[in-house]
Amino acid sequence: MSKRILVIEDNPMVVKSLEFKLKKDGYTVVLAEDGRVAMQLLKDQEFDLVLTDLMLPFVNGNEIIEHIKNVNQEVPIIVLSTSTQEDIITDAFEMGVDDFITKPFSPSELSLRVKRTLAK
Amino acid sequence: MPTLYFNLEDWSLILKINLILSLIFSCIALFFVSLVLYLRIRKNIKESHRKHLEARFIDFVNAFLFDETINKSKALGDFKYSYIKSSYDHKILIKQILIFDENLKGESSLLIKEIFYGLGLYKFLLEDLQGYRWYYKARAMFAFSKLGIEVPENYVYPLLQSKRVELRQHAILYFLNTSKTDPLVFLDNLEGRLTLWQQVLIENSLKSFEVEIPDFARWLDHHEDSIVVFCIKMILSFNQFQNIPLLVDCLDHDAEEVRYQAIQSLQTMEVSEALQLMLTHFPEETAQNKRSILYAIKKMGTYKDLQTLVPHIHKEDENLQVDFYKISRCFEDQIPVKSLLNIETLSKDWEDFQEYSMQQSIGA
């Protein structure tokens, strides 16, 4: 069975690109366009990896990461964000994220990082 | 049963006027209601067309980027002839291309440029650049500079001399974004004033882009004073110490703002060798530059340097004299006035200080 990835992103263009690329790589992709939908999906379903933005409507990325870490420590998280500020990146790693990718991103590189994170 | 019968001839004049006015206003109201409805419907149709085209385009770009099985040139042709019908369609796609380019990098970014050329968007924007509407030109320049796509120089150089500040700004941004070897080449051809905002824009770009910082001495003899001022600031900002002798020469420049910036930069760089020239120029300088020279003495001079100005300072306005006094206090505790800024003792303090300065000037 293919690995399930939850993509939490509010930019429709980025969402579509991620969905296209990850499906092409053989993953099952579930999309959430805001933090509230993501929280609901995390309650109802199980995922092998979460790929999330930090700036999200209703519930921000940090709260989602905190929620995931409280419920299930094992789920790997990759952050995909426009932020390049050192403190934001270190905060994310301190919260337990497995990888941090900054936008603009290379889809091929993202694909490799997802693969590597899932293989851990 | 009475029949309804209107004979207009029987109506009084006032009733006839009322009737005509009512009809006119009804027509006007009807026209405006129809116009609002028409515009609303038109807007909705355009909006739904935009969403449809955006969705198709995002799917097309993703397939183009990630699906190795498709025939790319055929896909480009098909999309172009199926979906791009009007200039509005071009505008929608250009906006989407910019969003893609902003979010993706690497190989995808190169493919996005391939789409840009393949769909005729480059040609469309080039035509905008040749047009006469300034906002079309600004939009084209913005897109080209964001995508880092070069266009023939004869399209861009005239925009640097445009009367519209927006166009000049976008032309500057274009050069900064596209030139890899000489990002400030446009300064050679810039005729008009370089505004403070443009100076900030250029400085920030130079700091954030991966370009080689040019030697700013190249424009120190530019005919436009604002460019010389900018270059003096940049020599300081990028620590181009090799240009210090040229900065000292700027103390003799005809323009007050250039001399002011030279004093400021030399002071920050602590070039004490330049102080003697500043002191020589002091009597002929403007009030603002005199103040700068006083603060330059405070930073890199001595009390003796300050004292050489005593014969001149009495001829200056009181604000400058107060500055002179304040700076004197930094060197010499013995000056008889202790609290010139205290409003209660100000008059007395001031008299004391003037008397003291006079005595100093006559060597008492």
Average pLDDT of the residues of chain B: 87
Compute the nearest-CA separation of A21 from chain B (Å): 6
Percent of chain B with pLDDT over 70: 89
Interface check A105 vs B, CB under 8 A: yes
Average pLDDT of the residues in B113-121? 94
Write down the pLDDT at residue B307.
Answer: 81
Find the largest Cα–Cα distance for chain A.
38
| Candidate from B66, B96, B103 with C-beta closest to A104 | B103
Has residue A32 got a pLDDT over 90? yes
| Candidate from B58, B66, B67 with C-beta closest to A107 | B66
A11 vs B contacts (CB less than 8 Å): 99, 103
Residue of B nearest to A106 (CA): B105
Please name the helix (run of DSSP H) or strand (run of DSSP E) that holds residue B278, with its range, or none: helix B275-281
Interface check B106 vs A, CB under 8 A: yes
Interface check B68 vs A, CB under 8 A: no
Where does the pLDDT of residue A117 fall: very low under 50, low under 70, confident under 90, or very high at 90 and above?
very high
**Are A13 and B96 in contact (CB < 8 Å)?**
yes
For residues A87 and A78, give the distance between their C-alpha atoms in angstroms, rounded to a whole number.
Answer: 17
Compute the nearest-CA separation of B94 from chain A (Å): 14
Interface check A85 vs B, CB under 8 A: no
Report if pTM > 0.80.
no
For residues B153 and B166, give the distance between their C-alpha atoms in angstroms, rounded to a whole number.
Answer: 18
Count of CA atoms in the C-beta half-sphere (13 A) of B136? 14
Residue of B nearest to A22 (CA): B66
Has residue B27 got a pLDDT over 60? yes
Greater pLDDT, B334 or B243 = B243
- Which residue out of B67, B98, B102 would a mutagenesis test of the A interface target, given it has the greatest number of A Cβ atoms within 10 Å? B102
Where does the pLDDT of residue B364 fall: very low under 50, low under 70, confident under 90, or very high at 90 and above?
very low
Interface check A109 vs B, CB under 8 A: yes
Tokens representing A71? Answer: 């419920």
- C-beta of residue A60 within 8 angstroms of C-beta of residue A36: no
Kind of pairing, strands A28-32 and A99-102? Answer: unpaired
Question: What domains, with CATH codes, occur in chain A?
Answer: 4-119 (3.40.50.2300)
Average pLDDT of the residues of chain A: 91
Average pLDDT of the residues in B166-192? 87
Interface check B62 vs A, CB under 8 A: yes
For the CA atoms of chain A, what is the radius of gyration?
Answer: 13
Write down the pLDDT at residue B333.
Answer: 64
Tokens representing A103? Answer: 């936008």
Looking at domain B239-301, its CATH class is mainly alpha
Specify the range with the lowest mean pLDDT, choosing from A104-108, B227-231, B309-313: B309-313
Helix, strand, coil % (nearest 5) of chain A?
Answer: 50, 20, 30
Has residue B1 got a pLDDT over 60? no
- C-beta of residue B193 within 8 angstroms of C-beta of residue B229: no
Q: What is the pLDDT of residues B50-78, one digit of tens each?
A: 999 999 999 999 999 988 888 989 999 99
Greater pLDDT, B68 or A89 = A89
DSSP secondary structure letters along B298-317: HHH--HHHHHTTHHHHTTS-
**Are B63 and A20 in contact (CB < 8 Å)?**
yes
Compute the nearest-CA separation of B177 from chain A (Å): 16
B61 vs A contacts (CB less than 8 Å): 17
Average pLDDT of the residues in B82-109? 92
Compute the nearest-CA separation of B185 from chain A (Å): 28
Has residue B119 got a pLDDT over 90? yes
For residues B116 and B104, give the distance between their C-alpha atoms in angstroms, rounded to a whole number.
Answer: 14
Has residue B241 got a pLDDT over 60? yes
Write down the pLDDT at residue B12.
Answer: 86
Has residue B204 got a pLDDT over 70? yes
B111 vs A contacts (CB less than 8 Å): none
Residues 6+ apart with CB under 8 A from B109: A104, B101
Write down the pLDDT at residue A40.
Answer: 92
Interface check B210 vs A, CB under 8 A: no
Write down the pLDDT at residue B358.
Answer: 65
Compute the nearest-CA separation of B101 from chain A (Å): 8
For residues B83 and B78, give the distance between their C-alpha atoms in angstroms, rounded to a whole number.
Answer: 8
Residues 6+ apart with CB under 8 A from B161: B168, B189, B190, B191, B192
Q: How many Cβ pairs within 8 Å bridge chains A and B?
A: 54
Average pLDDT of the residues in B95-113? 92
Specify the range with the lowest mean pLDDT, choosing from A67-81, B207-221, B303-317: B303-317
In which residue are the tokens 């001031």 written? B350
Residues of chain B with CATH 1.25.10: 239-301
Write down the pLDDT at residue A81.
Answer: 92
Q: Is the ipTM of this complex over 0.90?
A: no
| Candidate from A12, A24, A104 with C-beta closest to B105 | A104
Q: Is B120 left (phi over 0), alpha (psi -120 to 50) or beta?
A: left
Residue of A nearest to B108 (CA): A106
Average pLDDT of the residues in A74-102? 91
Task: State how far Cα B309 lies from the chain centre.
Answer: 40
For residues B248 and B289, give the distance between their C-alpha atoms in angstroms, rounded to a whole number.
Answer: 15
Task: State how far Cα A56 lies from the chain centre.
Answer: 12
Where does the pLDDT of residue B224 fall: very low under 50, low under 70, confident under 90, or very high at 90 and above?
very high
Write down the pLDDT at residue B115.
Answer: 95
Residue of B nearest to A109 (CA): B106
Residues 6+ apart with CB under 8 A from B39: none
Q: How far is CA B351 from CA A99, B90, B325, B339, in A?
A: 71, 75, 12, 12
Interface check B148 vs A, CB under 8 A: no
